[in-house]
Amino acid sequence: MDSLDLALHMASYGALCKAVSELHSSAEVVLVISKGKLAASHIKSGGPAPDEGEFRNLLSQLEIVITMIKANEDKFGDLRFVAIHYKYVDGLFFPIDDTDTLVVGIMPPYDDSFVAKVSSLVEKEKRQTAK
């Protein structure tokens, strides 16, 4: 991927993050992780932010979890998303391709229609990325 393609890719991910954050008022953090690094983000103000070391560890953990779960795609089909429920926030992880994952931090309550809308946006992104 040359530098122009990379710039367009990052701009597309930025637009994806913003679009997802606008789907629900409780979607506080929306990120795209690419090859273990932050590729794009949209963060609403007022939420807690990890320091750089914590953030680096979080990215590594996410990469490991998604990679491990995707290893079963040959048996079960393409991974659509992974949900992790904490007391105060849910983490929703939507693989875009083999190296990129959309991460959504959302405070409950929300319903399945939010997940369906995010999935639809991710599928659209996958089609655009494949071109």
Q: What is the CATH number of the domain that holds 27?
A: 3.30.450.30
Q: Give yes or no for a contact between 17 and 94, defined as CB atoms under 8 angstroms apart.
A: no
Residue pLDDT tens, the chain, 131 long: 555 555 566 689 999 999 999 999 999 999 999 888 889 999 987 666 677 888 889 888 888 989 999 999 999 999 999 999 999 899 999 999 988 999 999 999 999 999 999 999 999 998 887 76
pLDDT digits (tens, 9 = 90+) for 41-73: 999 876 666 778 888 898 888 889 899 999 999
Residue % of the chain over a pLDDT of 70: 89
Q: How many CB atoms lie within 10 A of CB 16?
A: 23
CA dihedral 22, 49, 89, 122 (to 10 degrees): 40
Which run of H or E residues covers position 17? Answer: helix 3-21
Indicate the number of domains in the chain: 1
For residue 35, what are the domain limits? Answer: 3-130
